[in-house]
């Protein structure tokens, strides 16, 4: 074998190695070849096997010096090479077509995606605009709600009545400043405090509790209550209560209003006192004295001591008014009332009243019989004498007095009892007038 033959065999041998590697990789990629190209791919692998076999035959023939027909070998090589190039070009054309179709589809998909992205972007921008508008509306609503809450809180705090909200568990949830001032407890301390601690009253923990009544179905509760603050001060209030519902309409507690009626109570007591009290002297007036006397006449059988009536008349009242004026006359009436109040012990007296004009009456208990020596008359004369000894007096104080005893065995009305005392008093007055010249003064007696 000459050098040319040896070199040719080496090149063919190397080419066979490349073919073998190509066959290996082609078989390895066979499972990933698309179905449309699978048949042509297999033909290409078969063609490479054909070339590999031809290379091996040629190499064996060279080494064994087998005489092969050059025309046959060249023909086979040209045929195989032409078929191989045809298959490669066909595969390449199909691949290029597939790639272009893929690029077209990709461009179409990209265009469609861009359209959809543009549409979605527009939708998102619209949604974003609507969201911003909604956020703006919510912000405005929130500001309006805050302003409304501030206004309501201001109105609540400016209310003349104390207001508090109490839940179903008797816990205070909200109060206004007026309630805090009425209760004497700071607002922040009241929140979360049991309602009966802030303002205790007799209705707490009873069926008369406003919350209990609302929970039992009452639509409105109003009552007057004397409420005790934490510092012990008692405050009379008119308390109103209404149901308190949540946004779902469920009853969750009550709203209570507290109106301080201290001044009203004081006025009522004043009017009540004025209705039975003589404005000038501070004693019971005729109505008040008759009311007190009527009650005690009914109870006279139950007491061990006797019930007496002292009927008194201020002497020379007309002369005092004529000589010194009605202001001095009023002063004399006040002085007579003071003398009567200082004469009687509180334990003995039932009531002292001015019956009208210059007439007075005292209802009292006593164990002494009515007589001129009655201890009460002696004390009264002593007090009158002490008054008359005061320096600078313009008139002399003098009173005609009569004392009568109520007889339970012969009951009578208050008016009849007063008539008895009036008669005895006038007897006293007449006796004083009859004995005035001889005595030289306006002294009194009693019977």
> Counting beta carbons within 10 angstroms of the beta carbon of residue 36, is it exposed (0 to 12), middle (13 to 18) or buried (19 or more)?
exposed
Does the structure show a pLDDT above 80 at 340?
yes
pLDDT in tens, 203-250: 888 888 999 999 999 999 998 888 888 888 888 999 999 999 998 899
Mean pLDDT score of the chain: 82
The sign of the torsion formed by the CA atoms of 16, 22, 27, 30 equals negative
At 18, is the pLDDT very low, low, confident or very high (cuts 50, 70, 90)?
Answer: confident
The whole-number pLDDT of residue 75 equals 65
CA atoms 130, 133, 139, 144: torsion sign: negative
* 216 Cα distance to chain centroid: 20
Residues 6+ apart with CB under 8 A from 179: 162, 163, 164, 190, 258
The tokens for 189 are: 């301390």
- The DSSP bridge pattern shows strands 172-175 and 221-228 to be unpaired
Per-residue pLDDT for 59 more than 90?
A: no
Work out the pLDDT band at 359, boundaries 50, 70, 90: very high
Q: Which CATH architecture has domain 160-266?
A: 2-Layer Sandwich (3.30)
- Flag whether pLDDT at 443 surpasses 50: no
Other beta carbons less than 10 A from residue 198's beta carbon: 22
Spell out the long-range contacts of 88-97 with Cβ–Cβ below 8 A and sequence spacing 24 or more. 88/44, 90/40, 91/37, 91/40, 91/41, 91/44, 94/36, 94/37, 94/40, 95/37
CA atoms lying within 13 Å on the CB side of residue 376: 28
Q: Alpha-carbon distance 143 to 434, whole Å?
A: 96
What confidence score (pLDDT) does residue 301 get? 64
Element (H, E) at 251: strand 251-260
* Cβ neighbour number for residue 22 with a 10 Å cutoff: 15
Q: What are the distances in angstroms from CA 132 to CA 121, 122, 124, 149, 230?
A: 16, 15, 12, 25, 53
What is the pLDDT confidence band of residue 313, given thresholds at 50, 70 and 90? very high
pLDDT of 437 above 70: no
Which percentage of the chain shows pLDDT scores above 70?
84
Is the pTM for the entire model greater than 0.85?
Answer: no
375-388 and 326-343 helices cross at what angle (nearest 10)? 140
Residue ranges with strand state E in 189-233: 221-228
Largest distance between two CA atoms of the chain: 204
Cα–Cα–Cα angle for 365, 366, 370, nearest 5°?
120
> Among 176-180, 207-211, 313-317, 432-436, which is the least confidently predicted range?
432-436
Contacts 24+ apart (CB under 8 A), 390-395: 394/324, 394/328, 395/316, 395/320, 395/323, 395/324, 395/328, 395/332
Q: How far is CA 336 from CA 153, 314, 318, 436, 443, in A?
A: 60, 7, 15, 21, 15
Output the pLDDT for position 444: 35
- d(CA 20, CA 29) in angstroms, rounded, equals 14
**What is the structure's pLDDT at 438?**
44
Taking a C-beta distance cutoff of 8 angstroms, is the pair 172, 190 a contact? yes
Measured distance CA(171)–CA(193) in Å, rounded:
6
Whether domain 277-439 has CATH 3.30.360.10:
no
pLDDT at 330 over 90: yes
For residue 89, pLDDT beyond 60? yes
Q: Which 8-state DSSP code applies to residue 229?
A: P
Q: What are phi and psi of 376, to 5 degrees?
A: -65, -40
What order of strands is seen across the sheet that includes strand 306-314? 349-356, 359-366, 306-314, 399-405
* Average of per-residue pLDDT across 81-107: 71
pLDDT score for 446: 37
Distance CA 175, CA 216 (A): 24
Q: 279-312 pLDDT, tens per residue? A: 899 999 999 999 889 888 887 766 656 789 999 9
Kindly tell me if the per-residue pLDDT of 170 is higher than 90.
yes
Closest alpha carbon to 374 in 362, 386, 359, 389 = 362
317 touches 358 (CB < 8 A): yes
Rg (CA), the chain: 64
pLDDT in tens, 347-357: 788 899 999 89
The dihedrals phi and psi of 267, each to the nearest 5 degrees, come to -65, -40
Burial of 34 (0-12, 13-18, 19+ CB in 10 A): exposed
């Amino acid at each position: 074998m000459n050098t040319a033959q040896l070199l040719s065999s080496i090149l063919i041998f190397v080419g066979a190695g490349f073919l073998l590697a190509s066959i290996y990789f082609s078989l390895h990629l066979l499972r990933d070849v698309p179905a449309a190209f699978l048949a042509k791919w297999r033909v290409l692998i078969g063609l490479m096997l054909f070339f590999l076999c031809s290379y091996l035959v040629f190499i064996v023939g060279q080494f064994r010096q087998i005489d092969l027909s050059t025309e046959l070998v060249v023909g086979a090589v040209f045929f195989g090479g032409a078929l191989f190039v045809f298959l490669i070009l066909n595969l390449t054309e199909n691949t290029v077509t597939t790639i272009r179709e893929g690029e077209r589809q990709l461009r179409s998909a990209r265009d469609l995606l861009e359209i959809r992205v543009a549409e979605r972007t527009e939708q998102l921008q619209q949604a974003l605009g609507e969201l911003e508008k909604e956020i703006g509306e919510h912000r405005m609503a929130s500001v309006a709600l805050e302003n409304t809450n501030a206004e309501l809180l201001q109105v609540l705090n400016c209310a003349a009545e104390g207001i508090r909200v109490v839940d179903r568990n008797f816990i205070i949830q909200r109060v206004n400043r007026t309630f805090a001032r009425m209760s004497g407890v700071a607002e922040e301390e009241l929140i979360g405090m049991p309602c009966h601690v802030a303002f205790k009253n007799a209705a707490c923990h009873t069926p008369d509790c406003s919350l209990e009544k609302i929970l039992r179905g009452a639509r409105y509760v109003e009552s007057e209550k004397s409420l005790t603050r934490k510092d012990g001060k008692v405050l009379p209030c008119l308390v109103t209560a209404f149901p308190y519902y949540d946004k779902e309409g469920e009853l969750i507690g009550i709203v209570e209003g507290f109106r301080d009626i201290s001044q009203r109570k004081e006025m009522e007591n004043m009017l009540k006192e004025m209705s039975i009290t003589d404005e000038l002297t501070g004693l019971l007036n005729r109505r008040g004295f008759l009311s007190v006397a009527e009650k005690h006449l009914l109870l006279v059988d139950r007491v061990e001591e006797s019930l007496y009536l002292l009927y008194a008349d201020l002497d020379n009242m007309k002369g005092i008014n004529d000589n010194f004026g009605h202001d001095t006359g009023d002063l004399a009436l006040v002085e007579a009332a003071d003398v009567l109040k200082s004469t009687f012990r509180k334990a003995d007296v039932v009531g002292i009243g001015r019956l009208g004009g210059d007439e007075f009456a005292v209802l009292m208990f006593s164990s002494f019989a009515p007589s001129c020596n009655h201890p009460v008359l002696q004390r009264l004369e002593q007090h009158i004498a002490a008054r008359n000894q005061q320096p600078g007096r313009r008139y002399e104080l003098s009173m005609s007095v009569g004392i009568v005893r109520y007889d339970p065995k012969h009951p009578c009305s208050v008016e009849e009892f007063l008539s008895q005392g009036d008669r005895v008093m006038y007897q006293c007055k007449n006796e004083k007038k009859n004995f005035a010249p001889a005595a030289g003064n306006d002294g009194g007696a009693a019977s």
